[in-house]
Amino acid sequence: MSEREEHRAPVSLSGLSENDPHLLPLAKNPKTVEGVIAVNFVLGTLLTAAFGACYWINAKPWTLGATLGGGLFFFGVGLVAWGKYLMPRGPFVEERHTLANSEADRDAFAAAIVERGGNVMKRRKMLGGILAGGLGIFGVVAMFPVLRSLGPVPKGTLFHTDWRKGSYVVDQTGRRVSAGDLAVGSIVTVFPEGTENTDRGQVVDQTVLIRVSNQKFTTQKGRESWAPLGYVAYSKLCTHLGCPVGLYEQQLQLLVCPCHQSMFNVNNGAVPQFGPAPRPLPQLPLYIDSAGFLRAQADYNQPVGPGFWERA
């Protein structure tokens, strides 16, 4: 067995003689390894330079990534190889000292806190009490402006939409929808007129208008007049987490939410048929005015979208 392969017990770094076998490199052929590392460093340098050139001429983004990544990678491999194969191979050992201090030190520390500090507090109980109480009140009071200024109070905003009695039903471009616009089985996203370009309109008022075939449609109790000529309108906000219920499965007459796959039965009051949504999509009562335009009879009769504590 050569000197290189001989067994080496871990030694301490300090007091090691210069020709200790622990300080030799791990590599059996250091010259070759050195050459390989040199190649790595040269490649790293070339690619890094190429990165600069690519940046200078504003080349395609992938060339930037490839040259930068390749350059860093070769530098990294070279450095790791240098550390692993050409530096002192060890293994070296370091003593681990107990973290805990002596009993006397611990006692002195505890005494400083418990006795010296505790005695001060015990003697001036009233002062400590007032200070703690005062700072406590300050802490609570300081929270008020911080919290209160962050946003408005919800009030009724979650309960109502901008649909009003007589609101014209318009599509995303603001065009009013009239009775002849949709074929049976068609769907369009609609808004109350005037809100189609507003954030709130898109978030709260968004409604899907579907023209259903009257034979398969089950009218819900109390909603007999809500869907004239098969035009049925549901809130587009999923009752699970408020995603837009954007997928319409025409064959099965289902509205599907792409976020968490809740399915609502269009023909039966948008009752959730499957998935995590707990409630039907609220239905918007519609009527057709004398000019043939679709209009809302009133706002939704319940809050739209996901559940919250104040919702009845």
Partner 1 sequence: MSEITATNKRARRKAEGRYGKVGKALNELDDRLGVAKGGRTFMDKIFPDHWSFMLGEIVLYSFVILMVTGVFLTFYFIPSSAIVTYHGAYLPLDGQKVTQAFSSTVNISFAVRGGLLMRQMHHWACDIFVGAMVVHMARVFFTGAFRKPRELNWNIGVTLLTLAITNGFLGYSLPDDLVSGTGIRIAYSIVLSIPFVGTYLAFFIFGGNFPGTSTIPRFYILHCLIVPLIIIGLVGAHLFLLVRQKHTQFPGEGRTEKNVVGSPMFPVFMAKTTGFLFIVGGFTALLSAFAQINPIWQFGPYDASRISYAVQPDWYMGFLDGALRIWPSWSFHSFGHTIPFEVLVPALILPGIIFTLAAAWPIIERLYTKDNEIHHLLDRPSDRPKRTAAGVSVLAFVTMLFIASSTDVIANFFHISLNTVLWLMRVTTILVPIIVYPITYKICKEMQAVHGAGKRKTPNIVSRTVEGEYVATPTPAYQDDRGHDLEATAVPTFIEVEPEEPNEGGVRTVDR
Q: Give residues 255-294 in contact with partner 1 (rule: CB under 8 A).
A: 258-263, 272, 274-279
**Does position 194 bind partner 1 by CB under 8 A?**
no
Q: Which is nearer to partner 1, 24 or 229 (CB)?
A: 24
**Whole-number Å distance between alpha carbons of 32 and 40:** 13
**Does position 200 bind partner 1 by CB under 8 A?**
yes
Closest C-alpha to 267, from 195, 200, 210, 208: 210
Closest C-alpha to 260, from 271, 246, 276, 248: 276
Tokens of 187: 């769907």
Smallest distance from the beta carbon of 205 to partner 1, in angstroms? 9
Q: In DSSP terms, which residues pair with 187 in a beta bridge?
A: 210
**Whole-number Å distance between alpha carbons of 78 and 36:** 8
**Which of the residues 73 through 102 are near partner 1 (CB under 8 A)?**
73-84, 87-88, 90-96, 99
306 contacts: CB under 8 Å, gap ≥ 6: 237, 238, 239, 240, 241, 242
Smallest distance from the beta carbon of 252 to partner 1, in angstroms? 11
Q: Which is nearer to partner 1, 80 or 184 (CB)?
A: 80
Q: Which is nearer to partner 1, 179 or 271 (CB)?
A: 271
DSSP-assigned states of every residue in 228-293? GGGEEEEESB-TTT--B--EEETTTTEEE-TTT--EEEGGGTTEEEESS--SPPPEEPEEE-TTSB
**Whole-number Å distance between alpha carbons of 196 and 172:** 6
**Which of the residues 113 through 172 are near partner 1 (CB under 8 A)?**
147, 150-154, 157-158, 172
89 contacts: CB under 8 Å, gap ≥ 6: 8, 22, 23, 24, 25, 26
**Does position 14 bind partner 1 by CB under 8 A?**
yes
**Whole-number Å distance between alpha carbons of 129 and 137:** 12
Helix (H, G, I), strand (E, B) or coil at 141: helix
**Whole-number Å distance between alpha carbons of 293 and 169:** 8
Smallest distance from the beta carbon of 185 to partner 1, in angstroms? 20
**Does position 36 bind partner 1 by CB under 8 A?**
no
Smallest distance from the beta carbon of 43 to partner 1, in angstroms? 11
Q: Which is nearer to partner 1, 194 or 307 (CB)?
A: 307
Which of 189, 219, 268, 297 forms a contact with partner 1 (CB under 8 A)? 189
**Does position 206 bind partner 1 by CB under 8 A?**
yes
Q: Which is nearer to partner 1, 88 or 228 (CB)?
A: 88
Smallest distance from the beta carbon of 287 to partner 1, in angstroms? 23
Q: Which stretch binds partner 1 (CB under 8 A): 129-137, 197-205, 214-222, 223-231?
A: 197-205
CA atoms within 13 A on the CB side of 191: 19
Smallest distance from the beta carbon of 133 to partner 1, in angstroms? 26
**Does position 246 bind partner 1 by CB under 8 A?**
yes
**Whole-number Å distance between alpha carbons of 67 and 61:** 10
**Does position 199 bind partner 1 by CB under 8 A?**
yes
**Does position 105 bind partner 1 by CB under 8 A?**
no
**Does position 188 bind partner 1 by CB under 8 A?**
no
Q: Which is nearer to partner 1, 75 or 217 (CB)?
A: 75
Which of 36, 179, 187, 203 forms a contact with partner 1 (CB under 8 A)? 203
